[in-house]
Amino acid sequence: MSEAFLPVIHYIEQYIQLSDEEKHYLISLLRVTKVKKKQLIVQPEFVCKYRSYVVKGAMRAYLLDKRAQEHTIAFALEDWWISDYNSYIFQQPASLFVEALEPTTLIQIDYNAEQLLMETHPRFERFFRIITQRSFAFLQRRMMSNLSLTAEERYEEFIKKYPAMLQRVPQYAIASYLGFSAEFLSKIRNRRIKT
């Protein structure tokens, strides 16, 4: 078994046990992709073909509104998945950009291969269900946080949960993820330093 795929195997085995045959079959459906900083792997109007697992690096998914304002929807560091899931699941044109924030190594599975994997090895259907449920719960918590917390509280919550991101993700991307401007984030950070 190629060592390049061990990170995703270890990740999956946190949720389901795999036989050697299942591991080899899964690996036969995967590909390793290296992307440069600022490179897009998904963009609007094109169907998203891959679900991507971050082996090394950092990614973000964002959309542009009618005024060309960026709104960061998701980040992904090592051991996280990223995609335009609406496009990927329904195989329709994407509405998000998915961009590398650093040089990044991804392990990818394409939509048809994933469907085949779940049909031939139902255990993987359980895995994808579990990670989808976890993602849904995370999105619900994020929505509740956006609705019930002040901007400062959202920032505090973010830095407690994701301290590694502060060093690796641009401030403008963090600000857009939290729903405010980079200038406002600077004010919050300055207030924190003074207290």
Report residue 86 as tokens.
């609406």
Q: Which of 87, 56, 92 is nearest to 73 (CA)?
A: 87
d(CA 43, CA 97): 4
- Output the tens digit of pLDDT for each of the chain's 195 residues: 578 999 999 999 999 999 999 999 999 999 999 999 999 999 999 999 999 999 999 999 999 999 999 999 999 999 999 999 999 999 999 999 999 999 999 999 999 999 999 999 999 999 999 999 999 999 999 999 989 999 899 999 999 999 989 889 999 999 999 998 888 888 888 777 766
Q: Which of 116, 114, 124, 110 is nearest to 18 (CA)?
A: 124
Q: What share of the chain is helix, strand, coil (3-state, %, to 5)?
A: 50, 25, 25
pTM of the model as a whole:
0.92
